Structure 1
């Protein structure tokens, strides 16, 4: 019998780190393009790193699986990157606020980090989690300026309503803060924020539109990665409870924007810039 003698602890494969983009998930081509755009921009900054993505929504992953595509959840994606030998991994969430989805992702990263270190169970350096679009006070001003640059050129009789199509999970105050900052930035009050499942709701939005005095409204999904759920809640098709139908029923002329907020470079550039700033502050990846 041949005896194989192993010396030392073996050599880990060379790694330049990895970046995991995490979105709630979407089956829509427009939403998938937002994810692809973010990945491309990250790859341009860190050309040697592995850049990949995961969807946190199990229902979306199951639909995609039925269509023949396997998209991992965050845990499976991180486990795969660790198994490949990546010592340092950066997680960039494509979430609007630090709501439910962020609070589901953060403990996962924290738990894995407890097993990191040279002599840890998993034997990697660690995972650095970046922030959602809105986290700190300065974020609101940066995002408000971007929204103003995208939608601010309005006619006197027009208003834009940015609709959050899904619950942000206890972070409605973040939407209210963004509204206040938008008012400071735009000076017109014609950029209005609403939430399908939360505050400010449709009645608050109608009250604000009445105060502005406009009858022409453009609806925009206030989400980074738009999915079918956004268009159902906003435009609705046969759904009589859509915001478009509710506002039309109140006498408004309503147009639904064909692009979600995250489809604009001004927004994805902010996401990538935030990640770069966080990575650089921890000297986590090499450019």
Structure 2
């Protein structure tokens, strides 16, 4: 009797082993992940601008790992150097462990691929389609150019890159719609400025070598259309329009009071020093010296849930565009 049972079990096992593999039998076939690739920040208090975005993406798709990556080489090296600084770690208990080991997008993607994740979406955490974003796209394009003798050995099933908050050029997802999405997400800024009877002035980063100013000015125009009770302006640390370009506009409009906020994912070094610092060259000091009453808000856009969800919106559209179902 026992021999008969053993024979039946052996035959059943052999039957299972001889069946053709189904898609679900391959543990790597449906494994997918998201990489949130942001510029990064060295300021611990500014990290929520990135972590809040990561957390909101993760809550939306709990079965899909969301890993952070920093595109700035300098910022990564600083965090990695802090791993051995016990005093710094003790003084900053809110910093997650994975920030100390943060890698660039290429290394993060490679690690995920090595772990069996072959469908990966890279969601930029950048504001505009500037230098950092374009370099990221170039890296992803390079990975997607890999061709193997046998297609099944290609490193990725799908590797896609999303768009920054302010969108990109093209017909599929008009950038103007993304600008309007951001403006609606920042409705509370207009409310805060109106309550203070102040104009709203954003400090954006920009780039000296890229003609990106028109998108920022268009965003300000949308803000003024949506919230006409508040005058909204935007100036860039690098490129046009600069603060010097914006000062005559403030004077012409008769502005006397300003709510000054960063138009950046994180309230990092630019916010702490260049915007709200006490040095003479800080925007707060320059504006105060010209007679403006200035209120500063040192809060990164990524800390605002509605703005963080702009990246979630972009991620969802990128997944749909590439036939990827996130879980």
Question: TM-score by structure 1 length?
Answer: 0.89
Cα distance in 2 for partners of 1:252, 1:124 equals: 55
| Map of 2:97 onto structure 1 | none
Q: List gaps (5 residues or longer) in structure 1.
A: 1-9
What is the deviation of 1:175? Answer: 0.8
Instruction: Report 1:177-216 matches (<5 A).
Output: 177-188=218-229, 190-216=231-257
| Map of 2:37 onto structure 1 | 22
Cα distance in 2 for partners of 1:13, 1:47 equals: 18
| Map of 1:261 onto structure 2 | 301
Cα distance in 1 for partners of 2:158, 2:195 equals: 50
| Map of 2:11 onto structure 1 | none
- Cα 1:186–1:166, aligned 2, differ >3 Å: closer, same or farther? same
- Cα 1:169–1:177, aligned 2, differ >3 Å: closer, same or farther? farther
Cα distance in 2 for partners of 1:137, 1:65 equals: 38
| Map of 2:161 onto structure 1 | 129
| Map of 1:59 onto structure 2 | 74
What is the deviation of 1:236? Answer: 2.4
Q: Is the 8 A contact 1:16 1:285 kept in 2?
A: no
| Map of 1:220 onto structure 2 | 261
Q: Which moved more, 1:188-197 or 1:112-121?
A: 112-121
Cα distance in 2 for partners of 1:265, 1:128 equals: 24
| Map of 1:102 onto structure 2 | 133
Aligned residue-pair number? 279
Q: Which moved more, 1:86-95 or 1:121-130?
A: 121-130
- Cα 1:156–1:51, aligned 2, differ >3 Å: closer, same or farther? closer
Partner secondary structure for residue 238 of structure 2? coil
| Map of 2:22 onto structure 1 | none
What is the deviation of 1:89? Answer: 0.2
| Cα root mean square deviation, aligned | 2.4
Q: Which moved more, 1:152-161 or 1:201-210?
A: 152-161
Structure 1 residues 119-168: Cα deviation after superposition (integer angstroms, max 9, x where no partner): 26643212111110111111111111222333334147411211014537
Structure ID, larger Rg: 2
Q: Is the 8 A contact 2:70 2:76 kept in 1?
A: yes
Question: Structure 1 residue aligned with 2:101, among 61, 70, 90?
Answer: 70
Question: TM-score by structure 2 length?
Answer: 0.78
Instruction: Report 1:267-282 matches (<5 A).
Output: 267-282=307-322
- Cα 1:111–1:121, aligned 2, differ >3 Å: closer, same or farther? farther
Q: Is the 8 A contact 2:29 2:118 kept in 1?
A: no
| Map of 1:286 onto structure 2 | 326
Partner secondary structure for residue 69 of structure 2? strand
Confirm or deny that 1:149 pairs with 2:188: yes
Partner secondary structure for residue 298 of structure 2? coil
What is the deviation of 1:281? Answer: 3.2
Partner secondary structure for residue 77 of structure 2? helix
Cα distance in 2 for partners of 1:87, 1:255 equals: 48
Partner secondary structure for residue 193 of structure 1? strand
- Cα 1:53–1:103, aligned 2, differ >3 Å: closer, same or farther? same
Confirm or deny that 1:242 pairs with 2:282: yes
Partner secondary structure for residue 186 of structure 2? helix
